[in-house]
Amino acid sequence: MTDLDTTGQPSTDVVHLDEGHHIGTGGLPARFEDPGLPTHIHRMADDSPDAGRRAERQVVALFGLSMLATLVFIVAYFAIDKSVGIFLPGIGSTNALNVVLGVTMGISLFGIGAGAVHWAKTLMPDTEVVEERHPQASDAATRSAAVGIILGGGEQAQLGRRPMIKYALGGALGLFALPFVVQVAGSLGNPTKALAGLRSNLWDIAPGVSPIRLMRDPEMTPIKASDVTIGSVFHVMPETLKDSQHVLEDKGKAAVILMRLDPNQFSAAAGGQRAQAWGYQGIIAYSKICTHVGCPVGLYEQQTHHLLCPCHQSTYDATNNMEVIFGPAKRALPQLKITVDDAGYLVAPEGFHEPVGPSFWER
Amino acid sequence: MNALAARRRHPAAIAILLLLGLVAVGGAYSLLAPKQAQASVVSAGDINTGKSLFLANCATCHGMNAQGSAAGPTLVGVGAASVDFQVGTGRMPLAAPNVQAQRQDTSQFTQEQIANMAAWVASLAPGPAIPGAQYTSGQNADVAQGGEIFRINCAQCHNYAGSGGALSRGKYAPSLTGSSGKTIYEAMLTGPQSMPVFSDSNISAQNKNNIIAYLKTTQTEQQVGGMTLGNLGPVSEGMFIWIFGLGLMLGCAFWLGQKAA
């Protein structure tokens, strides 16, 4: 308080909390004076030659450490075979070359930085210096000369006399922006084609074509209904995947998960009954693509019959037509109608009745 | 140097003292902790001994004839593989009612006792048998094929490197680190707890062996990227860099801001 008191007399009035509002001057001065720089305190290396030499040695040692580490890096790069392993406690079996290169490069970089900082802190001048600002604008004569040069240049280039050149140049530059716009807009894809792609997948078949067999992923072997024991889960791809031109894209849309429940375990609700009717003796097949943002739904709890999505924990109820019982998904997983062919293998006689995958516009 | 400065401790003294204390306590525990005896004799299994062991240890929950009760499921038809898995990994007898039986370091029974109980349970009704060594060793296997099958069928719950993961309501898929080939095979065969069944008609015996080989490889192979941090992905990696990376940077920032003496 005494620092701020311009009268030179420290305020000794004690204001108690129970006195209510106390009207006072606050002891503030009319104007704050520039306190100036604090007194400069010398460092040890400024005053003692011994301390200076010690600081010098420390800086040289840090730079020297960096040099040493760099040399080890270069030697190790050629000397250590890249397949050599090394056991490090806490890490386990790891690659010797990667460890040595990483550690030495870290030390060499840190040595340079730490040396420079230590040098600046101990030996470089640290006295406070004041540099006054100066006006940044040039004087009037220089500024009018600069305007003259620009206007004169335009005059000599005959911009005013031959305006067609001006317009043609503007047109050329303006038109040149279009290739960038076309590329960006084009990379978004053809909206009609993209929508058609979202609505179709490999399970769609034309009427009269023989049903598609369900195949194990990744073995691509057909699945007999008797192979699917109760409590089993199969990850399924359509047989037609082997003829696909765009395997990854088709896999991403056609992935199916198949499981077998005891027929008594299905819900008595309409959904559970439909699920059973579209399945085969308790075997049910659903799209594996989450209806939230399209992650593969694969975490099946055999005892609760809950199917979980690993990304955002959307949970589907396998006993009730994969209705969502938890999480951000809004729709049930689409069911694939299945039956068996003459040889006893599971087949899908028709495609999904609704688009698979995350909800999109204009469904 | 005055008297105060002479008696002042180095700022790192407390951290070093704490570290020394932790190392001392941990070392003493690992030396003095009780150790379990290991039994490794396997026999064909005597049904009568198995039944008496079952009555003494399992019947309270699973019923006198393994028919099940309100406290535990029926064991008729689960097969010898299921008994060997549940008892051999220490999950059964259940230590306490919980959302899920936990793997223990050691089983409460010898291999011979487990074989006896497995023989009795298998005699009740046909079920999956304990797999032989041919397809549980991970030998003569295609590791790459095993990895592909593991990533499609298992990785969604057990993590790409078999580190385990969470399920709903406190249930979890356990880590597969340190599990024997036989245990992994039996788990696929029987589908314990939340896990679905992957019978030999789904994933063939040879492909199960490939999966075992893949898991053994991921656990023993050279870690090119250095510390795996449990192979848990961005969570453990982010935590590591927040604590140690940011800690190091903060230390440097404090040093930069400090005036030289």
User: For residues A264, A268, A270 and A274, what is the CA-based torsion angle, rounded to 10 degrees?
Assistant: 0
Among B173, B227, B260, beta carbon nearest to A91: B227
Do B149 and A219 make contact, defined as CB atoms within 8 angstroms?
yes
Please spell the DSSP secondary structure of B77-102, one letter per residue.
TSHHHHHHHHHHTT--S-SS--SSPP
Instruction: Specify whether B117 is located in the same domain as B159.
Output: no
Chain B: residue whose CA lies nearest to A298 = B156
The residues near A60 (Cβ < 8 Å, ≥ 6 apart) are: A115
**Looking at the domain assignment, is residue B124 inside a domain?**
yes
Do B222 and A94 make contact, defined as CB atoms within 8 angstroms?
yes
CB atoms within 10 A of CB A124: 8
Please report, rounded to a whole number, the percentage of residues in chain B having pLDDT higher than 90. Answer: 54
Residue B36 has pLDDT above 50, yes or no: no
| Contact between residue A237 and residue A215 where contact means Cβ atoms under 8 Å apart | yes
Instruction: Specify whether B160 is located in the same domain as B143.
Output: yes
To the nearest whole angstrom, how far is the Cα of B224 from the nearest Cα of chain A? 5
B85, B107, B130: which is the final residue of a domain?
B130
- With bands split at pLDDT 50, 70 and 90, how would you rate the model's confidence at B146? very high
Residue B97 has pLDDT above 70, yes or no: yes
Do A91 and B167 make contact, defined as CB atoms within 8 angstroms?
no
The total number of structural domains in chain A stands at 2
Chain B: residue whose CA lies nearest to A255 = B152
Do A94 and B202 make contact, defined as CB atoms within 8 angstroms?
no
Instruction: Specify whether B136 is located in the same domain as B112.
Output: no
**Looking at the domain assignment, is residue B261 inside a domain?**
no
What's the pLDDT score for residue B216? 93
Residues in A touching B101 (Cβ below 8 Å): none
A74, A105, A122: which is the final residue of a domain?
A122
Average pLDDT, chain A: 89
Instruction: Specify whether A105 is located in the same domain as A242.
Output: no
Segment A62-78 shows an average pLDDT of: 97
Do A299 and B167 make contact, defined as CB atoms within 8 angstroms?
yes
Instruction: Specify whether A222 is located in the same domain as A116.
Output: no
Do A45 and B260 make contact, defined as CB atoms within 8 angstroms?
yes
Q: Out of A149-158, A314-323, A329-338, B39-48, which region has the weakest mean confidence (pLDDT)?
A: B39-48
**Which CATH number belongs to the domain containing residue A336 in this structure?**
2.102.10.10
Instruction: Specify whether A344 is located in the same domain as A243.
Output: yes
Segment B95-111 shows an average pLDDT of: 87
Residues in A touching B256 (Cβ below 8 Å): 117
**Looking at the domain assignment, is residue A208 inside a domain?**
yes
B130, B153, B171: which is the final residue of a domain?
B130
- With bands split at pLDDT 50, 70 and 90, how would you rate the model's confidence at B7? low
Chain A: residue whose CA lies nearest to B157 = A299
Q: Out of A328-337, B49-58, B94-103, which region has the weakest mean confidence (pLDDT)?
A: B94-103
To the nearest whole angstrom, how far is the Cα of A6 from the nearest Cα of chain B? 34
Do A227 and B224 make contact, defined as CB atoms within 8 angstroms?
no
| Contact between residue A66 and residue A111 where contact means Cβ atoms under 8 Å apart | yes
What's the pLDDT score for residue A362? 62
Which residues form the domain of B145?
A: 132-222
**Looking at the domain assignment, is residue B63 inside a domain?**
yes
Highest mean pLDDT among A1-5, A36-40, A53-57: A53-57
What's the pLDDT score for residue B42? 44
Instruction: Specify whether B116 is located in the same domain as B100.
Output: yes
Among A43, A99, A227, beta carbon nearest to B260: A43
**Looking at the domain assignment, is residue B199 inside a domain?**
yes
Instruction: Specify whether B80 is located in the same domain as B121.
Output: yes
Among A94, A217, A310, beta carbon nearest to B226: A94
- With bands split at pLDDT 50, 70 and 90, how would you rate the model's confidence at B219? confident
Chain B: residue whose CA lies nearest to A259 = B196
Interval A149-160: pLDDT, tens: 999 998 999 988
CB atoms within 10 A of CB A162: 10
**Looking at the domain assignment, is residue B172 inside a domain?**
yes
Rounded (5°) CA angle B27-B221-B153: 110
Average pLDDT, chain B: 87
Instruction: Specify whether B215 is located in the same domain as B157.
Output: yes
Do B156 and A259 make contact, defined as CB atoms within 8 angstroms?
no
Strand partners, A213: A347
Do B191 and A300 make contact, defined as CB atoms within 8 angstroms?
no
Residue B44 has pLDDT above 90, yes or no: no
C-alpha span between A59 and B50 (Å, rounded): 76
Q: Is B188 exposed, middle or buried (0-12, 13-18, 19+ CB in 10 A)?
A: buried
Do B261 and A43 make contact, defined as CB atoms within 8 angstroms?
yes
Higher pLDDT, B99 or A259: A259
To the nearest whole angstrom, how far is the Cα of B49 from the nearest Cα of chain A? 31
To the nearest whole angstrom, how far is the Cα of B158 from the nearest Cα of chain A? 9
Residues in B touching A55 (Cβ below 8 Å): 260
Segment A121-139 shows an average pLDDT of: 88
Residues in A touching B225 (Cβ below 8 Å): 98
Instruction: Specify whether A231 is located in the same domain as A334.
Output: yes
Please report, rounded to a whole number, the percentage of residues in chain A having pLDDT higher than 70. Answer: 93
Segment A11-27 shows an average pLDDT of: 67
- With bands split at pLDDT 50, 70 and 90, how would you rate the model's confidence at B26? confident
**Which CATH number belongs to the domain containing residue B142 in this structure?**
1.10.760.10
To the nearest whole angstrom, how far is the Cα of B156 from the nearest Cα of chain A? 6
Instruction: Specify whether B111 is located in the same domain as B164.
Output: no
Which residues form the domain of A88?
A: 52-122
Residues in A touching B156 (Cβ below 8 Å): 296, 298-299, 310
Instruction: Specify whether B112 is located in the same domain as B185.
Output: no
Instruction: Specify whether B126 is located in the same domain as B136.
Output: no
Instruction: Specify whether B123 is located in the same domain as B147.
Output: no
Do B157 and A217 make contact, defined as CB atoms within 8 angstroms?
no
ipTM, 2 dp: 0.77
Do B197 and A230 make contact, defined as CB atoms within 8 angstroms?
yes
What's the pLDDT score for residue B239? 94
Interval B151-207: pLDDT, tens: 999 999 999 899 999 898 899 999 998 899 999 999 999 999 999 999 999 999 999
Do B193 and A303 make contact, defined as CB atoms within 8 angstroms?
yes
The total number of structural domains in chain B stands at 2
Higher pLDDT, A192 or B21: B21
Please report, rounded to a whole number, the percentage of residues in chain A having pLDDT higher than 90. Answer: 66
C-alpha span between B62 and B69 (Å, rounded): 6
Residues in B touching A94 (Cβ below 8 Å): 222-224, 226-227
B115, B130, B145: which is the final residue of a domain?
B130
**Looking at the domain assignment, is residue A360 inside a domain?**
no
Segment A65-77 shows an average pLDDT of: 97
Instruction: Specify whether A213 is located in the same domain as A334.
Output: yes
Instruction: Specify whether B136 is located in the same domain as B110.
Output: no
Candidates B145, B158, B167: best to mutate against A (most CBs of A within 10 A) is B167
Do B201 and A229 make contact, defined as CB atoms within 8 angstroms?
yes
Interval A209-227: pLDDT, tens: 889 999 999 999 999 999 9
Among B148, B168, B259, beta carbon nearest to A308: B168
Please give the DSSP secondary-structure letter assigned to residue B172. Answer: E
**Looking at the domain assignment, is residue B232 inside a domain?**
no
Do B149 and A218 make contact, defined as CB atoms within 8 angstroms?
yes
Do A227 and B226 make contact, defined as CB atoms within 8 angstroms?
no
